[in-house]
Structure 1
Amino acid sequence: MTVIVRDLRPDVPADTEGFARVRRLALPYILFTSDSVRHNAVHVPAEARYRPLVAEEDGEVIGTAQVHLAHDSAEPGQGLVNIYVRPDRTGRGAGGLLLRAAEEHLTAEGATRLFTWVLDEPAHRAFAERHGYRSSRSSHFLRLDLAGAALPALPETPAGVELRTAADFADDPRPLFELDTETMRDEPGDIDVEYTDYDAWIEQYWKHPLLDRDLTVAACVDGRPVAFSVAYTDGGGRYSTAMTGTARAHRGRGLAKLAKTHSLHRARAAGLTEAFTGNDAGNDPMIAINKWLGYEICATEVRHVRELG
């Protein structure tokens, strides 16, 4: 039995379904579907040099890698590679083969520093360290039992604030783009990210197949969104928060909590049963909101970095 590494074929359902299956088994806290894998492969901007890879054994996809440059950062030369292998197919060399192919690709594209997320488990951390990566910041995955847990009551909406959904901005989503751009600048992380291309944002994010516009809630002042909670759903009862944030001038009013609470109530009313979110370990305000909502930490991952000589 030989393991080979090759490019994902986004137009082949067996490839995209296999990629999504590996991610669901290895990383069940993030939503992946065949459609979302295909969408990312096709719509990530060309300057990212995005190259999704699969490791295949006897015709079965057993490992995956997402490989690209941090094209939306002002600092050049930063590469990202995230590798996951089916838990029941480890020990076959798939991870090492994927990493080597990823590093060769990113080095050829001019990367001088590589970032990867690694689950905070001994085998995963040992793999990263063995290949020259050092640990950096950490982040938590959190889960909420939407079907069984009691959600907090809906907070009172402040005077002058109106709640709308992303569906209400279908004719002109630019205000949501502008809010997304501002909140991303303050998102904790190793890489500063800024969205500057509205058309690329439309293709990559607004048209993302997991985006649930009816469950994405924005708090608006004078008709413009100033806080929001972006919801993804997979069509199978699972919900995930893709982003929650508030414009700087409106922070400290509880608007992010308001938007997220309304989104979760909507999700439960729609029959969704399981909710996930993620938090940088140092993002105390958002951690406090999620604990208030009833989320519990279910896993932790650690960012690892490798400097290329």
Structure 2
Amino acid sequence: MDIRPAHPDEAEALAAVRRDVFPFAVMSPATIRHIITTEGAGEKPLHLVGLDDGRVVAWGSASMNTWTSEAGQAGLHVHVHPDHRLRGIGGALAERLHEHLAAVDAVRVRTFASLSGVEFAKRRGYDGSRQMHCSGIDLRQPLPEPPPTPDGIELVGMDQVTARQAYDADTIASRDEPGDSPIDAVDFDEWVREIWENPGLDKALSVAAVAGDEIASFAAVETAGDRSWSSITGTLPAYRGRGLAKLVKSVALRRAAAAGITGAFTANDDENGPMLAVNNWLGYRRVETQTGLLRTL
């Protein structure tokens, strides 16, 4: 067993490990390469791989959360291939990542774990805080008809809007996203690097409902092969209650199906009742519930 910093050219192997751990979690090798090579101001990330006889079997990352006004917030994840668990590699990765976060003045760390990983996290000082429901839909099956587009609204691909328009909509809608820290301090340039320039974001399949010069609602779609991930569907407060989230996500799924995507997946906080209702109407079915956990360093 060996642990060392991850290399960008290992993105394919890291994506394979992640898919074996979470088959429903869509993240392309290009996106992973982008994550490893893109560092925002103040994030102070550490990306590690675990190797067994020279082969990548585990992946761990930790970084500061620079998108919140709360000081000292951080995030961490550890993925270990199912065939290589209970051999100490996950614990070794977690120890290295916690040491790194302590050295860069992190105060509180957030992670998510499936049922099999909750006890692993609790043994390392984490405690449960919330539930995240992961769900999927087979796009080879018929989808419900999209609701009508309201007057004054135009549906366009996200490739037809500017980065500034998308940033404004994303950061305003995200302020109401359930979570342990508010998403209220997102720098535009960092957002462009991390989100807009993410090679996994398919702007042509992502859909925006535009009202005049602003995005009223949007559904952002990431793709990897024949699978897609709905990273966020958001509606600005002034436009809520008009069915726009249902409309943009429904149209985005139809675009994905027409482009050859066969499986679409997403995750929603248990407190996000409106989005869970939209997904149920679309035909999403739950594939796993994860626990969000926190540890104070």
- 1:229 corresponds to which of 219, 222, 232: 219
Q: CA deviation at 1:248?
A: 0.6
Q: CA deviation at 1:78?
A: 1.4
Q: CA deviation at 1:46?
A: 3.4
Give the Cα–Cα distance (whole angstroms) in 1 for the partners of residues 172 and 267 of structure 2. 19
Listed as ranges, the matches of 1:21-32 within 5 Å are 21-32=16-27
1:74-106 CA distances to partner (integer Å, 9 max, x unpaired)?
A: 111112111110011111111100000000000
1:129 is matched with 122
1:138 is matched with 131
Q: CA deviation at 1:196?
A: 3.3
Q: Using a 3 Å threshold, how does the CA distance of structure 1 residues 89 and 117 change in structure 2: closer, same or farther? A: same
**2:46 counterpart SS class:** coil
- 1:50 corresponds to which of 21, 34, 45: 45
1:3-56 CA distances to partner (integer Å, 9 max, x unpaired)?
A: 12111112xx2x222211110110122222221111011223031111111111
Is 1:82 the equivalent of 2:77? yes
2:99 is matched with 104
Give the letter for the 2:232 counterpart.
M
1:116 is matched with 111
- 1:249 corresponds to which of 210, 229, 238: 238
Give the Cα–Cα distance (whole angstroms) in 2 for the partners of residues 223 and 81 of structure 1. 37
TM-score by length of 2: 0.97
Give the letter for the 2:273 counterpart.
D
Give the letter for the 2:220 counterpart.
V
Q: CA deviation at 1:185?
A: 0.8
Give the Cα–Cα distance (whole angstroms) in 1 for the partners of residues 40 and 19 of structure 2. 25
Is 1:64 the equivalent of 2:71? no
TM-score by length of 1: 0.93
Give the letter for the 1:153 counterpart.
E
**1:227 counterpart SS class:** strand
- 1:293 corresponds to which of 275, 282, 285: 282
2:250 is matched with 261
Is contact 2:27–2:223 with CA below 8 Å preserved after alignment?
no
Give the Cα–Cα distance (whole angstroms) in 1 for the partners of residues 23 and 185 of structure 2. 28
Give the Cα–Cα distance (whole angstroms) in 2 for the partners of residues 46 and 27 of structure 1. 29
Is contact 2:66–2:186 with CA below 8 Å preserved after alignment?
no
Give the Cα–Cα distance (whole angstroms) in 1 for the partners of residues 159 and 117 of structure 2. 40
**1:302 counterpart SS class:** strand
Is contact 1:183–1:245 with CA below 8 Å preserved after alignment?
yes
Give the Cα–Cα distance (whole angstroms) in 2 for the partners of residues 218 and 91 of structure 1. 45
Give the letter for the 1:45 counterpart.
G
Give the letter for the 1:129 counterpart.
K
Give the letter for the 2:38 counterpart.
H
| Greater than 3 Å deviation, 4+ residue runs | none
Give the letter for the 2:290 counterpart.
E
Is contact 1:195–1:201 with CA below 8 Å preserved after alignment?
no
Structure 2 unaligned segments of length 5 or more: list them. Answer: none
Listed as ranges, the matches of 1:183-262 within 5 Å are 183-234=173-224, 236-262=225-251
Structure 1 unaligned segments of length 5 or more: list them. Answer: none
Q: CA deviation at 1:162?
A: 0.7
Give the Cα–Cα distance (whole angstroms) in 2 for the partners of residues 36 and 178 of structure 1. 23
Is contact 2:34–2:199 with CA below 8 Å preserved after alignment?
yes
**2:216 counterpart SS class:** strand
1:236-279 CA distances to partner (integer Å, 9 max, x unpaired)?
A: 11011011010011100001111000101111111110000111
Q: CA deviation at 1:195?
A: 4.8
1:163-185 CA distances to partner (integer Å, 9 max, x unpaired)?
A: 0111112xx32111100010111
